[in-house]
């Protein structure tokens, strides 16, 4: 539902003029002045950034993007990379299905499209890991095709412009119709990026800087005096809490026992310390009777990690043992732990047990590169 407004609808020229003066400088972006100088966006860099930015902040993505593009400058380089190296480089960024699909997509582009991304939304959507939003964003930003791009920032801007009172996610079709009406035939890529920048820097969730907004004379929510009300969101369901245990085995040779998770499912293909059989729907055992092998196990407390759909509470056990052979995993030296494909929850478990792994937001591959001097 949209309230009637006495104000005229905004035009794309307003946001494009603002973008020309106030756009963010991002490592994957070609600025308006660069476009005028004839510099074209690199579809590989656009695609890589869009995959990384899914449910992830620009600040978190920057170091990963720099590392990936330095190590694998082209889609063909990424397609030829070892999958384990890609997973290690991605570790800490979260939502690991993105990394698996990233590799599959690169391979598909290299093998089936001669290393060039398709230049249509339909062609892009046929690639692994690319859905409606990502296809529209790549088509618009990389190829300047008119496409309706709608991320969280754009949803917020448009829901306020037109005071769309229906709660999300039900309001998405209505918001998309308005985005379609606003999207120009020319400079569609700049328009999409301008709307994203506006939502990220001016039309923020809290305390929007409406006085600086190029749409402030056209905004129904501002006229009504309550921009922060929009977008209206349905009441959130409380996340279920799941329980489990993780076992950090430290050998007499200063190595930690690691193993590989199954290729599919939550954290698929990533490295882990052994855990009990918790899932998003079921609890796992929390005592040390489920330990993977005999050791002097000692409880080190509980760590909490929040996934998209549930909260996990892991009881952490540290076990002192000799470096035994299990036939399943391997023993990793302490000094090289931060180079392994450990997701954040496993980094927390190791840190709780032995406090020896870097828990910063930097990608593990970046940390390793700093130590060795190699990308």
d(CA 139, CA 59): 24
Active site residue 217: no
Sequence-distant contacts of 165-168: CB under 8 A, at least 24 apart? 165/1, 165/2, 165/3, 165/230, 165/232, 166/1, 166/232, 167/231, 167/232, 167/233, 167/234, 168/231, 168/232, 168/233, 168/234
d(CA 179, CA 174): 9
Tokens 């999300």 correspond to 168
DSSP three-state, residue 275: strand
d(CA 342, CA 270): 6
Q: Which of 50, 121, 155, 332 is catalytic?
A: 50
* CA Rg value for the chain: 24
What is the β-pairing status of strands 255-260 and 271-272? antiparallel
DSSP three-state, residue 171: coil
**Residues taking part in catalysis:** 50
């Amino acid at each position: 539902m949209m309230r009637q407004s006495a104000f005229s609808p905004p035009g794309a020229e307003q946001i494009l003029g603002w973008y020309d003066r106030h756009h963010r400088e991002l490592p994957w972006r070609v600025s308006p002045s660069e476009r005028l100088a004839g510099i074209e966006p690199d579809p590989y860099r656009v695609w890589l950034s869009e995959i990384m930015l899914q449910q992830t902040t620009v600040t978190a993505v920057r170091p990963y993007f720099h590392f990936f593009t330095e190590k694998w400058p082209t889609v063909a380089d990424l397609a030829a990379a070892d999958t384990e190296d890609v997973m290690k480089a991605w570790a800490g960024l979260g939502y690991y299905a993105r990394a698996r699909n990233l590799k599959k997509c690169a391979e598909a582009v290299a093998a089936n499209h001669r290393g060039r991304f398709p230049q249509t939304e339909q062609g892009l959507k046929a690639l692994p890991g690319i859905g409606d939003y990502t296809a529209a964003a790549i088509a618009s930003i990389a190829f300047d095709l008119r496409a309706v791009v709608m991320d969280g920032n754009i949803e917020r801007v448009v829901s306020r412009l037109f005071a769309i009172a229906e709660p999300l996610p039900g309001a998405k079709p209505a918001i998309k119709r308005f985005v379609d009406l606003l999207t120009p035939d020319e400079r569609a890529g700049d328009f999409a990026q301008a709307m994203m920048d506006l939502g990220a820097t001016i039309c923020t969730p809290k305390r929007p800087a409406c006085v600086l907004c190029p749409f402030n004379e056209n905004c129904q929510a501002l006229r009504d005096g309550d921009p922060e009300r929009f977008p209206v969101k349905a009441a959130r369901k409380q996340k279920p809490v799941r329980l489990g245990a993780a076992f950090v085995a430290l050998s007499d040779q200063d190595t930690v026992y690691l193993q590989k998770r199954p290729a599919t499912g939550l954290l698929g293909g990533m490295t882990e310390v052994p855990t009990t059989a918790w899932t998003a729907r079921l609890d796992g055992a929390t005592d040390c009777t489920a330990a993977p092998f005999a050791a002097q196990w000692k409880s080190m407390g509980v760590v909490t990690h929040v996934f998209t759909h549930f909260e996990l509470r892991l009881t952490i056990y540290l076990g002192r043992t000799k470096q035994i052979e299990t036939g399943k995993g391997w023993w990793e030296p302490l000094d090289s732990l931060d180079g392994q494909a450990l997701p954040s929850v496993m980094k927390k478990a190791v840190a709780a047990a032995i406090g020896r792994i870097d828990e910063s937001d930097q990608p593990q591959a970046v940390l390793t590169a700093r130590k060795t001097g190699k990308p």
